[in-house]
Structure formats: structure tokens, C-alpha cells
């Protein structure tokens, strides 16, 4: 926040900054000044000049009139914590290449920007500074906006939005109510992940290795009345529609989503637990993916922290269970999830009857069975499930193999077998394969009415309540008479009170909103009696699940977005962002899109047709961090090298998805190259529009090959190689000017214009300045991508004559730079030569590349 360059609305400071930079940047470019006859390359002068021109021309707003094919390019919007950093600089540079390239290719490109501006950091900052979170948030947004503008991204600023604007969260609340009406938002009392430090609940997705994703504090469980979105209703569609994304999203992101949704095919099988008070008898259902192993079940386990354990326990074991439950509760999630941990459990004094074999299995409670997966109860098959085997060995329970896989006996080896094989010891299933056994077992239990085939998902409903202040209030009123009552649409938004600040926002386990009595106490919209507002706010992932739709019509007042605009623009053609959002944000956005489609408001099934994950910016092989002290300040980099050099370095360092190590790159090298390219444009002497056909053919071939290759490389997102092509072209052009046909040759102009157009993707200031030097009107961003002439890009060939014993026997078309070895091989492989040699050996082969081969037979 202390960087000089990004002070918004401070005209004087900005001017002073410009002057300073102009001085600084010209001094650091001696190598340019050397060959310069006129002005020197000055990034600061360009950075001072062009933004106003672009603004005035409105270069980056889409026409949106249907005259061109539309394409929507979107970068994951930033969170306004301080100023932009190197990571932003990389991600946004990549997205901008795509937006700018498509614009040059004649598409109508939408490339908007906004802020994901609700969330905890603002609230924590407000507590520290005795301020309102909005003050910190909006100040940071202005800082970032100024930096983005300096960074010359081709954004349409007119669509800017902030999720913490009442005009935005009004529609977040409106969408919540539509979800509510459809039964997709509901409240239940449930043990939830609780961060004792942040004093708020966390979604499963926000718990990483048992700890709070944000602060690393071990997460505990707490029973609370919470709001959920029923995302599980969409599990199947979220999974199946991924086929549409195949090839357009990184494979690893698709794999992570699939894994998160976690579809398991299997069966529900009912076991009767004998001797409980339940009338007639207690039936407990298990979920198993391996019904073929039913005869191998030797015990039965229920989740220790589920109600089931208490329901089933025999009186004489009740105390043992209670003691065990206390032990489990004291464990952190980290400890619980540790798979190496010794298995613990307690016998409940009951037996469950195997519906297939009639065998009685001891019932245990253990913490390795999770309360909220499947049914919270399992049949344990130690021979074929490692967790069960570990448990069996810990408590001396029997192990019985029922699938002969040829592997070592698990009872002896301690390793459960899981391969293919033949079923044994299993009555009617004997002799079948695993797959046949699964089908047959399901058939049998279905016929007997003791079970059925089923599909289970790992995905849980999305817990969206947060007991924090800086988020969209949940638009529900609680009335003693009418229960949950939605706030009527015409009373939206339910605004946050603006008189809470500082300590009043501190986490207390209940939402700070509960303390704002004037805000909480309302009348019931249905009966008019005194009632209370819901005091939770929404997870900020709700805000970011639909922002891409709001950009389409940011001022629309009839709904969250104009359905016609959505028809025109959705889905997003290229989404760009970090792989850290591979699960949460993308899954939630996909869910929102599907629900909104079901509401009839959009046609797209998926929000993001293509996804690009940019890598990280490292320093010295490590992620930049305060603790390592290896942070690189973006503002300083921009001040020293200029925007274009930093952007070019980001793009040139590696393909977008790879990490960039700032210790290994050379922004000063990029700056030198840009100066060189710029100098080329200054030295062009022919008039704009002069016919390149009359120009130097070799340079034209280089230019047109660069165009053709760049197209392919850009489509494949190999932006770094495109930069290399531009460098080659600059070198060839320099050579043509200095020692070839000279700056007056129309082919030199063609080459220089091509350089400007290609560079406009990575170095917009330099490219615009080159364009102006070439006598072209602003903006190069609106230029047409040049069409390559295929007759110029075909490789030249020469004719090589092949002689056998001095007589010409064949002629081969080869490239002029063919190697001696390759030409020899080609000649010897010739059909004519083979025929003449007719099996005779070869004494010697004389090769004169590229035109002659003489073969002397033995
Ligand atoms: C018997 C069996 C035999 C199993 C076997 C596996 C192998 P996925 O694939 O992840 O869905 N299971 C079911 N519910 C559970 C819970 N709440 N907590 C812990 N484990 C649970 O895993 C399904 C398998 O995990 C189920 O199939 C069950 O063990 C166990 F050779 O049943 B299986």
C-alpha cells in the first residue's frame, strides 16, 4: 500500500511519479541510446501517454451488437487484500494474451474485472483498526484498480463490480431465496467443522489436513443450526457434465473434481442387530462397495460419534462407550484423519446378523468409521480391506479370505488383498469373479428384500452459514409463529448495518450481527408480529459462484442478470486462474450455473468452457512468503523495468501453466529486447500501405512463417514460444535494415508491423508506440491479425542429383540445409538406386550437400 505508483485519485503524486520515471527509465537504456538518432526508448513516457488514449477510444469494451462472434475471457477476480502482487501480475498477463489475441482475430471480446470483496481479512483488519470493514476493503480496491490500469490489461472497466456492494449482494440474496424455494437451501442442526481461532464454521472444503485452511488452527466439531445448499442433488450432473470439459480443462482439475464428488457404486445391505430395545428389531444398513465379500464379514462397526452407537449399545457396555466417545472428542481432526494411527474402538455387547450367511457378527464402535459417509455403519471384511484388517489385528478378531487372488494370506501377511480372483467360502457366490459376485450378491439381497444396489457420493451438502459480519446477510426472518420466513424480494437487499465497527465485529461464536439489536428485531413479513433476522452471513464462495453472470449486465435491475445477455455471452470461453481453486470455487460455480439453468434463466450447462491454470511465481525455487523473506515487490519491478518488460518476462519464462522462478528470469533482458523492437519501428522508412509484395522475399518468408506459427502456438497456449518467434523476427528485421534491403523496403515495414501486432499481446505500451512510429492510428489492439500468405511459408527445396557409378539414377527434392548424413540415407534408400545396386554392396558414398550424391558400388 505504500507504493508510489498506485495512489489513485492523487493526480499530483502521479505526475511527480511520471517525471521521476521518465528520468529513470531513459538513463537505464544506454544500449538503446547508442544506436539512437532520435528519442530513446522510455517505458515511463509510454506508460504516461497511452492509457488516456485507450480510455478515450474505448478500445476494450465489446461492441455487443452481434456484428462479430462473441467471446468471453475471464480472470478469477481478485480479493482486495493490499496491492496487486507478482501472482496477479502473472495470471492477468496470461488472460490478457488470450483476450487481446481474440480481439485481433476479429472476435467481440468481453474481458471484465471486479472484486471478491467480502470476507474475513477485511473484518480482521477492521477489528485491529477500529474501523468498518468497508473502509479497508474499498481503499484496497482503489489501490488495486490503479495498479491494474497501469498494468495495461485490456479490461472493460465499465462493468466493474464488487461483491460487497449492496447492488450486488441484493442479487446474491435473491438467488439464495430462489434456491430456498426450490428446496435447495435448508437449515439443520449438525456437528460442523469449527475453527476455534476464527470462531466460525468451515465447509469441508476449507478444512485442509484437519486444520483451518486460512489460519492453520486444528479444526474441532460443534453442533450448530446452519444453512446448507443441497449440492448433493446435483452430484450426478456435476460428474457427468465433466465430459463436456474434457480436453478444455486441465486433466488434473477434472480428476480433483471427480475425486471430490467421489462416486462409488455399491449396495445398501440391512443387518439386524439382536437384543436391542427396538421393536421388532433394530435394522442397521451398511454401505459397501464390495457386496461380493459379504461372506468374509467377521465383525460390524458403527461410527463412534453417531447416534447409532448410543442406540445399539448394551447396558453393560454403555460406560465403556461413553468413555471411548470422550477420548475421540478430545482428538483433533488432524489426529483423527491420520491413517497410520493405531485403530481404537469399543465392543457394544451386541451382534448383527449377516443377511446372507446368517452369521452373527460382534458390533463395535470405532472412530475410523465416519458418521457422515455412507450410512455411518460398515460390515468389516478384514481379509480384503486394510482398515478392517488393522482393526481385526488390534482386537484379535477373525480374518476370513473370500476371494482367492493368489496373494499371500492376509491373516498372516497383515496385508489385505484387493486384486481380482475367484470367490471362495461364500455359498452361492463361490466360483464367481469379483464383478460377477458383486452383481450376484446384489441380486440375492434385492430378492430377499434385505438390500439394494446403490450409488454413494463423497460430496456433502455445502455449508454456507458463517457467524461473521462481512458477508451477505441471509435473507430469512425467524418468527415464533410462522417459522422461517423469506424476506420479500422487494425488501432486498438486506443491508449490513453500517454502525458496527472495531471490537464489535470480534468473533464471539455467534454472529456479530446478533448484537445489533436495531438490525435484528423486525416484524414478521407474514403475520406482523415481532420477529428476528437470521444473523448468519453467507460463505463468500456464494458471492463468487455467480459473478461471471453479473458482468454481462452489471446495472440490470430486473434480476441478477439479463437473460438475453447471458444467451449472447455464456459460457465463458476462457477462464484463467490458479489451481488452488480446482475444487471449491469451480464446483460451486458449476452448481450455481446448473441451478440457474433449471430456473430457466440461462441455456448453458457449464459456466466455463475452457480453463487455464497459471503457475506460481516463485523466488529461488520457493513460493514467496513473509517468513522466507523472499517476496518480490511488484511495484518495484514495474518502477525499475516498466510494465511491458515485467509482463513479457512473465509470459516468456515458461508456458502459462508452469511456475516462473523470478530468480532465474531477466526482466532487464526483456527490456532490452523491447527497446530493440521499438528501435526497428523507428527505422522503417517506407510509407504505410506500401505494397509488401515488391519487398525482400527472404524477410517476407520469415515474417509470414512467424505469423503462421504464432497462430498455432497461441491456440496451444505456448505463449513463451510466440515471444521467441517475435525475437527472431526482430533480429531478421534489424539485419534487413542494417545490411539488407534497408529501412525503405516494404518488406521491412511488413515485418515491423507484424512485430508490433504480436507484441501487443504481451507488451501493449511498446507495441502501441511502435504502431504510432509506423504511422498507424491507435490502437494496435484493434488491428487485424495479419493473414499469412501460404506461398511464402512453404519451405524452399533444392534438387539433389543421385549418381551410381557416375550415372544419374535419381533426383530428390530436399531442403537446402539438409545434413550430409540425411542426404546419404535418402540417396541409399531410393528405389532406383536399390534396383541398380541389385544387392551389390557399396564401396563408398560421396556426398556434396545439398545437390549431389555419388555412390560407388563394391
Ligand atoms: C465392505 C468392504 C469389503 C469394503 C472390502 C471395502 C472393501 P468408497 O470406495 O470410498 O466409497 N465404508 C463405508 N462407509 C464408511 C464410513 N462411513 N466410514 C468408513 N468407511 C466406510 O468406500 C466404500 C467402502 O468403505 C465400503 O465398502 C466400506 O467398506 C467402507 F473388501 O464394505 B466396504
pLDDT score of 39: 72
Residues whose CB falls within 8 Å of the CB of residue 584, separated by 6 or more in sequence, listed in order: 203, 205, 206, 541
Phi–psi pair at 646, nearest 5 degrees: -65, -45
Task: Using the predicted structure, report yes or no on whether residue 4 has a pLDDT greater than 70.
Answer: no
Query: By CB neighbour count within 10 A (0-12 exposed, 13-18 middle, 19+ buried), where does 481 fall?
Result: exposed
Residues in the chain: 858
Protein residue with its CA nearest to atom 33 in ligand 1: 288
* Whole-number pLDDT of residue 333: 65
Collapsing DSSP to helix, strand or coil, 222 comes out as strand
Nearest-Å Rg of the Cα atoms of the chain is 35
What's the confidence (pLDDT) of residue 372? 84
Q: Is the pLDDT of residue 731 over 80?
A: yes
What is the pLDDT, as a whole number, of residue 331?
A: 76
CA of 266 to the centre of ligand 1 (A): 9
Higher pLDDT, 235 or 468: 235
Number of C-beta neighbours around residue 818 at 10 A: 18
Q: Does 779 sit behind a cis peptide bond, omega within 30 degrees of 0 on the bond before it?
A: yes
Residue 26 has pLDDT above 80, yes or no: no
* Cβ neighbours around 420 below 10 Å, total: 10
- 521-523 and 465-466 beta bridge pairing: unpaired
* Ligand 1 site-directed mutation target among 296, 308, 364, 374, most atoms within 8 Å of CB: 374
Burial call 531-565: b when 16+ CB within 10 Å, e when fewer: bbbbbbbbbbbbbbbbbbbbbbbbebeebbbbbeb
Question: Ligand 1 centre and the CA of 418: distance in Å?
Answer: 13
80 phi, psi to nearest 5 deg: -85, 60
What are the phi and psi torsion angles at 463 (to 5°)?
Answer: -80, 115
**CA gap 361, 301 in Å, rounded:** 10
Weakest mean pLDDT among 245-254, 366-375, 742-751: 366-375
Dist CA 15 CA 5 (whole Å): 10
> Average pLDDT for residues 141-157, to the nearest whole number?
97
Q: What is the pLDDT averaged over residues 167-180?
A: 98
Mean pLDDT of the chain: 92
In the reported structure, the alpha carbon of residue 378 is separated from the centroid of ligand 1 by a whole-number distance in angstroms of 7
Query: From atom 26 of ligand 1, which residue's Cα is the shortest distance away?
Result: 288
Coil, helix or strand at residue 267: strand
pLDDT at 213: 85
Round to whole Å and give the CA distance between 160 and 150: 16
> For residue 290, how many other CB atoms are within 10 A of its CB?
21
Q: pLDDT of 323-375, one tens digit each?
A: 999 888 877 666 776 767 889 999 999 999 999 999 999 999 999 999 889 99
Q: Which amino acids bring their CB within 6 angstroms of ligand 1?
A: 264, 287-290, 293, 369-370, 373-374, 376, 378-379, 381, 384-385, 456
CA of 845 to the centre of ligand 1 (A): 71
Compute the distance from residue 491 Cα to the ligand 1 centre, in Å.
48
Mutate to test the pocket of ligand 1, among 289, 305, 356, 380 (most ligand atoms within 8 A of CB): 289
Closest to 773 in 3D by CA, of 749, 793, 797: 749
> Closest residue (by CA) to atom 11 of ligand 1?
264
pLDDT value at residue 793:
86
Output the residue whose Cα is nearest ligand 1's atom 9: 264
Provide φ and ψ at 453, rounded to 5°.
Answer: -65, 145
C-alpha to C-alpha distance for 305 and 311, rounded to whole angstroms: 12
Which has the closest alpha carbon to 438: 291, 285, 288? Answer: 291
Residue among 294, 308, 373, 390 to mutate when testing ligand 1 (max atoms within 8 A of CB): 373
Q: Ligand 1 center to residue 380 CA distance, Å?
A: 8
Region of 626 (left: φ > 0; alpha: ψ -120 to 50; beta: rest) is: alpha
Ligand 1 centre from 387 Cα, in Å? Answer: 9
- Report how far residue 809's alpha carbon sits from residue 801's, in angstroms, rounded to the nearest whole number: 8
Pocket test for ligand 1, best of 260, 385, 424 (most atoms within 8 A of CB): 385
Categorize the per-residue pLDDT at 675 as very low, low, confident or very high, splitting at 50, 70 and 90: very high
- Predicted confidence (pLDDT) at residue 507 exceeds the cutoff of 80: no
Q: What is the reported pLDDT for 27? A: 37
Contact predicate 645/674, CB 8 Å = yes
Q: Whose CA is nearest to atom 32 of ligand 1?
A: 288
pLDDT at 334: 67
Q: Phi-psi category of 188—alpha, beta or left, where left has phi over 0 and alpha has psi -120 to 50?
A: beta
Instruction: Give the model confidence (pLDDT) of 32-72 as tens digits.
Output: 444 444 579 999 999 999 999 999 999 999 999 999 999 99
Please give the average per-residue pLDDT across 127-155, as a whole number. Answer: 96
* pLDDT for the residue numbered 19: 46
Mean pLDDT value across residues 409-436: 96
* Helices marked H in 303-433: 307-312, 318-329, 333-337, 386-395, 410-413
Asked if 592 contacts 462 with a C-beta cutoff of 8 angstroms, the reply is no
For 778-825, the pLDDT digits (tens) are 999 999 999 999 999 887 788 999 999 999 999 998 988 888 999 999
pTM here is: 0.86
Q: pLDDT tens, 534-547?
A: 999 999 999 999 99
CA 388–ligand 1 middle distance (angstroms): 9
Q: What percent of the chain has pLDDT over 70?
A: 95
Distance from residue 289's CA to the centre of ligand 1 (Å):
6
* Ligand 1 atom at minimum distance from 373 CA: 17
Rounded CA-CA distance 722/762 in Å is 10
Q: Report pLDDT for 651.
A: 97
Check whether 590 has a pLDDT greater than 50.
Answer: yes
**Confidence band of 208 (pLDDT split at 50, 70, 90):** confident
Q: Convert the pLDDT of each residue in 287-327 to its tens digit.
A: 999 999 999 999 999 999 888 999 999 999 999 999 999 88
Q: How far apart (Å, rounded) are the C-alpha atoms in residues 580 and 741?
A: 52
φ and ψ at residue 363, rounded to 5 degrees: -100, 125
How far does the centroid of ligand 1 lie from the alpha carbon of residue 593, in Å?
Answer: 32
Residue nearest ligand 1's atom 25 by CA: 288
Distance CA 625, CA 611 (A): 27
User: pLDDT value at position 337?
Assistant: 67
For ligand 1, atom 18, name the residue with the nearest CA.
369
Q: Are 768 and 43 spatial neighbours (Cβ–Cβ below 8 Å)? A: no
d(CA 472, CA 171): 10
What is the CA(379)–ligand 1 centre distance, in A?
8
CB neighbours of 454 closer than 8 A, spacing ≥ 6?
A: 265, 266, 267, 268, 287
SS3 of residue 569 by DSSP: helix
Amino acid at each position: 500500500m505504500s507504493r508510489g505508483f498506485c495512489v489513485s485519485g492523487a493526480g499530483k503524486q502521479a505526475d511527480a511519479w511520471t517525471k521521476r520515471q521518465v528520468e529513470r527509465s531513459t538513463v537505464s537504456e544506454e544500449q538503446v541510446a547508442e544506436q539512437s538518432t532520435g528519442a530513446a526508448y522510455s517505458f515511463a513516457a509510454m506508460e504516461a501517454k497511452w492509457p488516456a488514449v485507450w480510455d478515450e477510444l474505448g478500445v476494450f469494451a465489446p461492441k455487443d451488437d452481434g456484428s462479430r462472434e462473441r467471446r468471453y475471457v475471464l480472470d478469477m477476480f481478485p480479493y482486495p487484500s493490499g496491492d496487486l502482487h507478482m501472482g496477479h501480475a502473472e495470471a492477468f498477463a496470461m488472460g490478457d494474451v488470450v483476450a487481446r489475441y481474440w480481439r485481433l482475430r476479429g472476435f467481440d471480446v468481453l474481458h471484465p474485472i471486479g472484486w471478491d470483496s467480502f470476507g474475513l481479512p477485511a473484518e480482521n483488519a477492521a477489528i485491529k483498526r477500529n474501523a468498518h470493514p468497508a473502509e479497508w476493503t474499498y481503499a484496497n480496491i482503489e489501490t488495486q484498480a490503479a495498479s491494474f490500469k497501469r498494468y495495461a490489461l485490456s479490461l472493460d472497466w465499465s462493468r466493474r463490480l464488487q461483491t460487497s456492494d449492496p447492488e450486488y449482494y441484493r442479487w446474491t440474496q435473491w438467488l439464495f431465496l430462489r434456491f430456498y424455494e426450490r428446496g435447495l437451501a435448508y437449515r439443520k442442526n449438525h456437528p460442523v467443522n469449527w475453527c476455534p481461532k476464527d470462531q466460525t464454521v468451515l465447509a469441508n472444503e476449507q478444512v485442509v489436513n484437519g486444520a483451518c485452511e486460512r489460519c492453520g488452527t486444528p479444526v474441532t466439531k460443534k453442533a450448530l443450526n446452519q444453512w446448507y445448499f443441497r449440492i448433493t442433488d446435483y452430484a450426478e450432473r456435476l460428474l457427468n457434465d465433466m465430459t463436456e470439459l474434457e480436453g478444455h480443462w486441465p486433466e488434473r482439475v477434472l480428476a480433483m473434481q471427480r475425486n471430490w464428488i467421489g462416486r462409488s457404486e455399491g449396495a445398501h445391505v440391512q443387518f439386524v442387530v439382536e437384543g436391542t430395545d427396538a421393536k421388532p428389531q433394530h435394522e442397521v444398513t451398511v454401505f459397501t462397495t464390495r457386496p461380493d465379500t459379504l461372506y468374509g464379514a467377521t465383525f460390524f462397526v458403527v461410527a463412534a460419534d453417531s447416534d447409532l452407537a448410543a442406540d445399539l449399545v448394551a447396558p453393560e457396555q454403555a460406560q465403556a462407550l461413553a468413555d471411548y466417545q470422550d477420548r475421540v472428542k478430545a482428538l483433533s481432526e488432524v489426529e483423527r484423519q491420520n491413517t497410520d494411527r493405531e485403530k481404537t474402538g469399543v465392543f457394544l455387547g451386541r451382534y448383527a446378523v449377516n443377511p446372507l450367511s446368517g452369521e452373527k457378527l460382534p458390533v463395535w464402535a470405532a472412530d475410523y468409521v465416519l458418521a457422515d459417509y455412507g450410512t455411518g455403519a460398515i460390515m468389516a471384511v478384514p481379509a480384503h480391506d486394510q482398515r478392517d484388517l488393522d482393526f481385526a489385528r488390534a482386537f484379535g478378531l477373525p480374518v476370513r479370505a473370500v476371494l482367492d487372488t493368489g496373494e499371500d494370506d492376509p491373516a498372516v501377511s497383515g496385508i489385505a488383498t484387493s486384486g481380482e480372483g475367484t470367490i471362495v467360502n461364500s455359498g452361492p457366490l463361490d466360483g464367481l469373479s469379483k464383478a460377477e459376485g458383486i452383481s450376484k450378491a446384489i441380486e440375492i439381497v434385492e430378492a430377499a428384500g434385505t438390500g439394494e444396489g446403490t450409488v454413494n457420493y463423497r460430496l456433502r451438502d455445502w455449508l454456507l452459514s458463517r457467524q461473521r459480519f462481512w458477508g451477505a446477510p441471509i435473507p430469512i426472518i425467524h418468527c415464533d409463529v410462522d417459522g422461517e420466513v423469506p424476506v420479500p424480494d422487494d425488501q432486498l437487499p438486506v443491508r449490513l448495518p453500517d454502525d458496527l465497527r472495531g471490537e464489535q465485529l470480534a468473533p464471539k461464536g455467534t454472529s456479530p450481527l446478533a448484537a445489533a439489536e436495531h438490525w435484528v428485531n423486525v416484524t414478521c413479513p407474514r403475520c406482523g408480529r415481532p420477529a428476528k433476522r437470521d444473523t448468519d452471513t453467507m460463505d463468500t464462495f456464494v458471492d463468487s459462484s455467480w459473478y461471471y453472470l453479473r458482468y454481462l449486465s452489471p446495472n440490470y435491475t430486473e434480476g441478477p442478470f439479463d437473460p438475453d445477455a447471458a444467451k449472447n455471452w455464456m459460457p465463458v470461453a476462457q477462464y484463467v486462474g490458479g489451481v488452488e481453486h480446482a475444487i471449491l470455487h469451480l464446483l460451486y460455480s458449476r452448481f450455481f450455473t446448473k441451478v440457474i439453468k433449471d430456473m430457466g434463466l440461462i441455456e448453458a450447462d457449464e459456466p466455463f468452457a475452457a480453463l487455464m491454470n497459471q503457475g506460481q511465481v516463485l523466488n529461488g525455487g520457493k513460493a514467496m512468503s513473509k517468513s522466507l523473506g523472499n517476496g518480490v515487490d511488484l511495484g518495484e519491478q514495474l518502477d525499475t523495468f516498466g510494465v511491458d518488460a515485467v509482463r513479457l518476462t512473465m509470459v516468456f519464462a515458461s508456458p502459462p501453466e508452469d511456475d516462473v522462478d523470478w530468480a532465474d528470469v531477466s526482466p532487464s533482458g526483456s527490456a532490452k529486447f523491447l527497446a530493440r523492437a521499438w528501435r526497428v519501428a523507428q527505422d522503417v522508412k517506407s510509407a504505410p500501405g506500401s505494397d509488401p509484395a515488391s519487398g525482400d522475399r527472404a524477410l517476407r518468408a520469415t515474417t509470414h512463417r512467424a505469423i503462421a506459427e504464432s497462430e498455432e502456438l497461441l491456440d496451444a497456449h505456448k505463449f513463451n514460444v510466440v515471444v521467441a518467434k517475435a525475437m527472431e523476427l526482430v533480429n531478421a528485421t534489424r539485419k534487413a535494415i542494417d545490411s539488407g534491403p534497408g529501412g525503405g523496403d516494404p518488406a521491412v515495414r511488413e515485418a515491423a508491423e507484424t512485430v508490433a501486432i504480436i507484441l501487443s499481446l504481451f507488451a501493449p505500451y511498446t507495441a502501441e508506440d511502435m504502431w504510432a512510429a509506423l504511422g498507424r492510428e491507435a490502437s494496435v489492439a484493434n488491428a487485424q491479425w495479419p493473414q499469412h500468405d501460404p506461398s511464402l511459408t512453404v519451405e524452399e527445396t533444392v534438387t539433389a542429383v543421385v549418381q551410381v557409378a557416375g550415372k544419374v539414377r535419381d533426383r530428390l527434392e530436399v531442403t537446402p540445409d539438409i545434413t550430409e548424413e540425411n542426404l546419404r540415407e535418402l540417396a541409399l534408400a531410393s528405389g532406383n538406386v536399390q534396383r541398380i545396386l541389385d544387392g551389390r554392396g557399396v564401396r563408398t558414398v560421396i556426398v556434396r550437400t545439398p545437390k549431389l550424391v555419388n555412390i560407388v558400388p563394391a
